[in-house]
Structure 1
């Protein structure tokens, strides 16, 4: 008889070990030392940490705390950097279009270069016409990024 496969639960529902509880208690101690927690809050959270059975019960105790040694300015700077990074990221459709355009341009330039070298006569530079779709793609990219930035600020 085949053995029945039981789906694995989420990581947060798994049982926590003593080492996990101690790690959370250390993070709470660091937050107390930095002045992020009052002594009463610290006592309550440490008591809950050592009574916790799952990772979810542990993680909720430190969910509102930054990593030890991180200032509020650093947290704000990291969040702002992540937001700027997300704003710069191109949608997949534009990435595909830029890749196709770049590939076609490279192939056309290589073919034109090979013909110019072997023909040894003046050759019309037809790859220059690839600047037209490139400019349109550039304008579309700028427009899409501006719209995405505007929507995020609302």
Structure 2
């Protein structure tokens, strides 16, 4: 099977970079387009006027977005240097990670998702949830899960 467009959600975790490596190899062998997405965590101040919140919160949100953009720029540069030339990056805000990934999937019409899974079990999974499991359950395209 050949994949034309691969969606790769990333965060700052080592497992998302391991998933990115798998996506790179698939993209090279299939000459695929790659979209790398970073979903910023749901802001607890969502719905509050951004400029009316405490300056420290505003600075935190702006720093998180700046860091995400820098990470995406580095990823794109690295993929290009390794021969994956059709790379798009995207930041999604104000939704949960799984929702941001699935919304991006619908927007870009990818035919594969490659993502990492932290492999949480038991109470940690119950409390923190599993983004990978939610994406896997809701996705209409194949999902390659790279485990820690």
TM-score by length of 1: 0.24
Q: Give the helix-richer structure, 1 or 2.
A: 1
Q: Which has the higher contact order (CA 8 A, sep 6+)?
A: 2
TM-score by length of 2: 0.25
Q: Give the strand-richer structure, 1 or 2.
A: 2
* Structure with max Cα Rg: 1
